[in-house]
Structure 1
Amino acid sequence: MAPNARHAALLLLVVCLAAGAASAIQDGMLPNGNFEEAPPKSQLNGTRVTGRNAIPRWEISGYVEYIRSDQKQGDMILPVPEGAAAVRLGNDASIQQRLALTRGAHYSITFSAARTCAQAEQLNVTAAPESDILPIQTVYTSSGWDSYSWAFEATASSVSLIIHNPGVTEDAACGPMIDLFAIKALQPPQSSKNNLLKNGDFEEGPYFFPSTQYGVLVPPMDEDDFSPLSPWMVMSSTKSVKYVDAAHHAVPHGARAVELVSGMETALVQNVSTVPGLPCRLQFSVGDAGNACAGSMAVQAYAGRGSVKVPYQSKGKGGYKRGVLDFTAIADQTRVVFVSMAYNMKPDGTLCGPVVDDVSLVCTRNHPARRLLL
């Protein structure tokens, strides 16, 4: 091959590789993630979508309905969280989209879901080989719609995101409604000499929809799962914690915090490397999100063999206090745990709870003098 031809071929290869890298999906709404691009009328039988690729950018399987904002289920109007349309997954139905990602990177998916039937409902979220069942039976908002997050590692440069309703009922259409799908690349948080905990201020987490004021739920997970609040884990059987932002809530520090909305049924946990025998100090903020969640609150913190209960009397208008736990590390790994010790509700009857933020852990031979709680 002539030198000029080789140069042209090399240049074409570089351009193609750069185009491939640039095509990796960006943070924000997935293509047609709000389902505003409707199926052709020819591929709708009433509300049921009949064509596998009828919903632009998505592929469906099973009993899938395209629900407009004024749609009725019997005498009940099915609400849509934003825009004009959403999708309902009936018996054993699924919807999927192929995503161009960076192999080895961690991503968080945020989406909205609502129950439409009386029985327990759940969603199976998959980005192979990662797959988890998300419980959506508990409703945390007065509208019935909650935003959920789920994280995974991209094992290839092209991954199928699949949302599946594993339920089968007598009413084939019965199942969750879904809407507003977004993605965010997660940056690996780091520890420092001033804080052995990673992501102690909760600034790294899932995508927030700017128009959604109810926060994002982080559901329970197995210990080997990837967390949207990495490396924090949510330990529970069916309940979640809520990730809140300063744009819509009172946050003690920075732009993000965690609201413990499920009482003693849920624990926020992180494992951290420590040196046995060293004295340690865990410090953190406990407050309220300024979301009308008023009343007596309390957060119990555990680390090593130590624990401390931090009470907080909320007026539902924001505010916080500092908590301190001094303990001695007893192993080369210490589990830090936060649990809400009360069940709280807002005036509209939805679950709420204390906010935890600005968490730090320092272990040193030059242990600071013990101080009272601020």
Structure 2
Amino acid sequence: MEGRASSRRGVLLFLLVGVASANPDGLLPNGNFEQGPDKYQMNGTWVIGRKSIPCWEISGFVEYIVSGQQQDNGMVVAVPEGARAVRLGNDASIRQRLTGMTRGTSYSVTFSASRTCAQAEQLNVSVAPESGVLPIQTVYTSSGWDSYSYAFRARHSAAWLVIHNPGVEEDPACGPVIDSVAIKALHPPSRTAKDNMLKNGDFEEGPYVFPDTPWGVLVPPMDEDDVSPLPGWTVMSDTKAVKYLDAAHFAVPRGSRAVELVAGTEAALVQEVRTTPGRSYTLSFSAGDAADGCAGALRVDAYAARGRLPVSYESRGTGGFVRNELEFAAVANLTRVVFQSMGHYMKPDGTLCGPVVDDVSLVAVHKHAARRLFM
């Protein structure tokens, strides 16, 4: 009997591991670090041993953090989800092998991170052979925790996800705290309506959003050849991001997702589309507020070819939006559609916020309609 029970446990363990290794949308295996090292694998908060944290491999000075514990410098560390997280010290990293991916498919990784005592923190995120640098020195929430997204295109069915702290501080423990690592397959961006020339104009396709974190997901700046966590769109900036919102926690003009321009003039949301020089087009979009307390005259500028439309939305911070249209003539075979917040706005708690953009469409004006415009 004992042998058969042991055999059944072995089969069950095999099935569980097989399911976990497929990496479905959502948390990675032990992605919230609630399963921790045994006591003999730790020296205080310092994790000893490369495979001491289940489902992860570590390198360098990695600490296992329990929510509410007080550090040597008197700082109390909070954890956004569950009770445990990890902190990456100087040149430390964590990694997990992603499996069951489809070659050629794009994926987005979402994770939560919090700064500690370093001033100019950043994280290197890679899924070989692709890598990116995520600046995390700007904090967009009052809790100190933000969720970040990083996207890549799978070259193989399996690859290592690595999150690395490249910083070198006097205090080796001055590094970011990491929690809640998830993955999501990104579908090819499609046009949201038959005549809409823009892809993913409603922003419904994007990075994984944690259902229990009420602060959205930051989409970082990227080079033009990078894979975007927000298919169809690129964020142009040096160090700033835009925020991806869900309707469960924010006011969204249409559907279940939208984008908040939280960095003022320091970041722009861009999509490039093929056009015919001399032909007229209409760019339509919604601009409003996320019902997150961001009050005041929120201004967003929309650009396309030589056209520019400044929109000022008087927000009470409780939700709402206005619909806007920009008519322009294309001057080249490729036209950039650009949205940019023209002010730096703050909520009452001092955190950055800005206008919300959603439901964007670009349509060609038919010739007979264009004639009416100029009659």
Asked whether the equivalents of residues 20 and 29 of structure 2 are also in contact (C-alpha less than 8 Å), the reply is no
Deviations 1:213-238 (A, max 9, x none): 11100011111000010110000001
Which range moves more in the overlay, 151-160 or 21-30?
Answer: 21-30
- Tell me which amino acid in the other structure corresponds to 1:156: H
SS of residue matched to 1:76: coil
| Uncovered stretches (5+) of structure 2, i.e. residues with no partner | 1-16
Q: Distance in 2 between matches of 1:61 and 1:295?
A: 47
Partner of 2:184: 184
Correspondence 1:54 to 2:55: no
Alpha-carbon RMSD across the aligned residues, in angstroms, is 1.8
User: Deviation of residue 70 (structure 1)?
Assistant: 2.1
**2:173, 2:358 → 1: CA distance?**
42
Do structure 1's residue 29 and structure 2's residue 27 form an aligned pair?
yes
3-state SS of 2:277 partner: coil
Pairs aligned (count): 354
Distance 2:159 2:365 in 1: 44
> What residue in structure 2 maps to residue 38 of structure 1?
36
Task: Map 1:1-374; keep pairs closer than 5 Å.
Answer: 24-73=22-71, 74-100=73-99, 101-191=101-191, 193-366=194-367, 368=369
Judge conservation of contact 1:295–1:313 (CA < 8 Å) in 2. yes
Task: Quote how far apart the aligned CAs of 1:363 are.
Answer: 1.2
Q: Aligned AA for 1:258?
A: V
Q: 1:370 to 1:169 in 2, by over 3 A?
A: farther
Take 1:108 and 1:278, find their aligned partners in 2: how far apart are those partners? Answer: 36
Alpha carbons 2:118, 2:175 under 8 Å: kept: no
1:11 corresponding residue in structure 2: none
SS at match of 2:367: coil
When residues 23 and 368 of structure 1 are mapped into structure 2, their CA distance, relative to the original with a 3 A threshold, is: farther
Distance 1:314 1:134, change over 3 A: same
CA distance, structure 2, for counterparts of residue 26 and residue 368 of structure 1: 48
Dislocated runs of 4+, deviation >2 Å: 19-24, 364-372
What TM-score does the superposition give when structure 1 sets the normalisation length?
0.92
Any unmatched runs of 5+ in structure 1? 1-18
Q: Percent identity?
A: 68
Please report how far the alpha carbon of residue 330 of structure 1 lies from its aligned counterpart in structure 2 after TM superposition. Answer: 1.2
Could you state the TM-score of these two structures normalised by the residue count of structure 2?
0.92
Q: Look up the match of 1:10.
A: none
| Shift of residue 368, structure 1, vs aligned partner | 4.3
Note the C-alpha offset of 1:364.
Answer: 3.4
> 209-218 vs 363-372, which deviates more?
363-372
Contact 1:121–1:137, Cα closer than 8 Å, also in 2: yes
1:333 Cα shift? 0.9
Distance 1:300 1:365 in 2: 25
Whole-angstrom distance in 1 between the partners of 2:19 and 2:42: 36
C-alpha spacing 1:312/1:171, structure 2 compared with 1 (3 Å): same
CA distance in 2, matches of 1:313, 1:233: 27
Name the CA distance, whole Å, in 2 between partners of 1:21 and 1:318: 41
